[in-house]
Structure 1
Amino acid sequence: MRIALFSDTFYPQVNGVARTLKRLTDHMEKRGIEYEIFVPELEDGIMYPNTHQFTSFPFLFYPECRTAIANPYNILKRVSDFSPDLVHIATPLTMGLYGIHAAKRLGIPMVASYHTHFDQYLKYYKLTWLSSLLWRYMKWFHTPFEKIFVPSSDTKEYLEERGFHNLSIWSRGVDCCLFNPEKKNQYLRNRYQIKERYILLYVGRLSLEKDLHTLYKIIEEMPAEFQKEIHWVIAGDGPSYKEVLDHVKDKKNATLTGYLDGEELAKAYAEADLFVFPSTTETFGNVVLEALASGTPAIVADSGGVTRIVQNNATGMICRAHDHEHFLETIQQLLIDEMKREKMGHSARTYALKQSWESIFDGLIEEYKEVIFKNKKKKMLLHA
């Protein structure tokens, strides 16, 4: 099997799409599947094997996704030389358009994966007037695909309501060896001199669409008797980094770590007492699953893919979206009830252990095979 993957973002860029696609290519190597990646130029000139990079500049609403400028003929030739069985388009920006063009010209079947609710981002940038135009484009863009992979049933329902077809769930997994309760070792307390009794953690991209304003209100309006017992750790980077820094720099009980990865991130999850994530725009919510794998209960909003990860009152709590008071009440309840918090942590870990990346990627590969077989059968019938 040969797969050509087109994306406007790829590892080491800091977002869930880039990390998921890197895991996918690692898994394809493990399974002996040949692949080539077509992406905009990566940070610091990083080069990966089997990767074609193109001149680019940051995309307006999502700087981690870059808008590539390339000669379509050069891409067509490279795809033709590789002769893939399938083209997988991961993003709806310029690399996606180049991929569609090449696949159509060469008669190669195509699948897509939908990762981001760009329409929900518009309200945070006061651009909701663009919503109908965006949806027209998204429906046009996704028309040629044999299958459109979505990360959760919530996202599948969201797109079905907007007239999308051929949707299939490609969920997300978690590395339960890396993200593990046993990684708890006082790392955060020692590195950032944390003295407070409880550590509350946020991990994720720092940008408006993560509903950071609700997070600010939760931090600022926590009652005094709890405030002195809590230390907030915010781990992440993104376009709102300076804004977040301005909000926490004068607070003795808040630390902004910047981007954490690997063992550092795993230790942070494991040491936290609660994971607090108010974002309403997630198609899945990888960071939430990582927290659960670490035995840390998650408190999330009742909107988006996170609601299909967290089992309310079992592995965490689901609060009303944008309602900081509901988040505050829930946090206080769980901090008071240590036994319930510990029970949730055990349930969270048990749930995460069933979410293996290997089985999820193998399922995707089986769907690849189904599309390839269907296409070959169609060609045989045409030539019969």
Structure 2
Amino acid sequence: MRVALFTDTFLPDVNGVAKTLGRWTQFLEAKGVQIKVFAPASLHAKDHDPFRVERFYSIPLLLYPECRLAIPNPLQLRKTLHAFQPTLVHCATPFNLGLFGLHHARKYKTPLVASYHTHFDQYLSHYKIPWVEPTLWKYMQWFHHSCEKVYVPSQSTLHHLESKGMRNLEIWSRGVDTAQFHPNVERKSVLAAYGISSQSFVILYVGRLAPEKSVEVAIESFRSLPADIRKNSRLIIAGDGPSAALLREFCEDEGDVTFTGFVQGRQLADLYAAADVLLFPSATETFGNVVLEAMASGTPVIGAAAGGVQDTIAHGQTGLLCPPGDVAAFTEALQRLYLSEADRHRLAAAGLAYAQRQSWDHIFSKLLASCEEVVQRSAEFEPSIVSHRMIR
């Protein structure tokens, strides 16, 4: 099998989609599957594998500037595709590069699958352009109509897309690297690096600092804690994004809120494990990788009862869920975990056990089997076209 993957974000970009697609690529290569990635030029570092990743000039995506909208070179793309002769096209974006993948698959009758990663429709109201939503969904329905499979990260995302008229949906869940994210940490030294006492009740937010993430709900929930609890608590906000300056200004007079800026790798893993609770109020997640990472780190999670987060957290068993945007409910959940060490330990243990069962290898093996089935079904349906594909 030879897979052509079209995406608007890829390693070394640091976000959930880029990391997941990077892992998927590495898994395929380990299984002897040839893969060619078509992605925007990265702003973070030069690509170190030009033979696997074809890069294109790009501009910032309006709703997500950290992701890039590629401006493909059609001649370059066609030349590479003709040389590679993919047997499967995977579009991880419905935008410019994805359109080229769609066009190629249709023209040469190559099996086509897509993966859905971001609820852009739910971002629109946060960016004051809700009127775009009907047009967006018409486009999304048109783009995915030709896909034999549309892979989604969670059951809630599947239901959401079904309600919008999309079909051929299948769950491609997410795993967690338990060698990187685990509970073993020297809490005192990790927190000391941020000027925080290990005796503090540490509340952690991890994620992009942007309107759709509802970071202000985390801040207001922390502020609403009873005075005797708040004086013994600290809020750490780990991440960066377009709202960073505004949020820092919002908290500039508060000495118990720490902004770390962007963190990753060991520094991020240590923060998860050193915290007493992860507070994640975002209601726009298709999955919510940070929830699973915190669980794997032995840290209980309070999340929004919406999107993919509610599929990962079993309320009262592996974490706590609160109605989206309900500051009072989030504050009550924080207070509950502050007052009950037994609840913290019980939720942390159950969350850790759940996370340790989410194996990337198992998840990717199921995805690969599904892709192979798509290719095989196409070969059986149109053997003459498959065997002569792209010979002109």
- Whether TM-score is above 0.5 comes out as yes
Counterpart of 1:87?
89
1:93-126 deviation line (CA, Å, top 9, x unaligned): 1111111122222221110000111010001011
Are residues 1:362 and 2:368 paired?
no
1:326-360 deviation line (CA, Å, top 9, x unaligned): 00011101110101111111111101111001110
Counterpart of 2:230?
227
Structure 1 distance, partners of 2:13, 2:254, is 29
> Which residue, 141, 144, 149 being the options, matches 1:142?
144
Counterpart of 1:20?
20
Structure 1 distance, partners of 2:145, 2:345, is 47
Counterpart of 1:169?
171
What amino acid does structure 2 have at the position aligned with 1:373? Answer: Q
Counterpart of 1:36?
36
State the SS of the aligned residue for 2:170: strand
Q: Is the 8 A contact 1:114 1:148 kept in 2?
A: yes
State the SS of the aligned residue for 1:182: coil
> Which residue, 152, 160, 164 being the options, matches 2:162?
160
Alignment of 1:1-384 (within 5 A): 1-49=1-49, 50-195=52-197, 197-380=200-383
Structure 1 distance, partners of 2:46, 2:55, is 10
What amino acid does structure 2 have at the position aligned with 1:159? Answer: L
Structure 2 gap ranges (5+): 388-392
Instruction: Give the alignment's TM-score, normalised by structure 1.
Output: 0.97
**What is the CA-CA distance between 1:381 and the residue it aligns to?**
7.3
What amino acid does structure 2 have at the position aligned with 1:67? Answer: L
**What is the CA-CA distance between 1:174 and the residue it aligns to?**
0.4
State the SS of the aligned residue for 1:268: helix
What amino acid does structure 2 have at the position aligned with 1:124? Answer: H
**What is the CA-CA distance between 1:184 and the residue it aligns to?**
4.3
Structure 2 distance, partners of 1:147, 1:213, is 37
**What is the CA-CA distance between 1:211 and the residue it aligns to?**
1.1
Instruction: Give the alignment's TM-score, normalised by structure 2.
Output: 0.95
1:159-214 deviation line (CA, Å, top 9, x unaligned): 11111110000000001111101134334312011025211001111110001221
Aligned residues: 384
Structure 1 distance, partners of 2:47, 2:384, is 42
**What is the CA-CA distance between 1:382 and the residue it aligns to?**
7.3
Structure 2 distance, partners of 1:222, 1:11, is 39
**What is the CA-CA distance between 1:44 and the residue it aligns to?**
4.2
Structure 1 gap ranges (5+): none
**What is the CA-CA distance between 1:383 and the residue it aligns to?**
9.6
Structure 2 distance, partners of 1:279, 1:53, is 32
What amino acid does structure 2 have at the position aligned with 1:361? Answer: F
Q: Is the 8 A contact 1:80 1:106 kept in 2?
A: no
RMSD (Å) for aligned C-alpha atoms: 1.6
Structure 2 distance, partners of 1:70, 1:300, is 39
What amino acid does structure 1 have at the position aligned with 2:42? Answer: L
State the SS of the aligned residue for 1:365: helix
Q: Is the 8 A contact 1:203 1:235 kept in 2?
A: yes
Single out whichever of 213-222 and 330-339 deviates more from structure 2.
Answer: 213-222
State the SS of the aligned residue for 1:186: helix
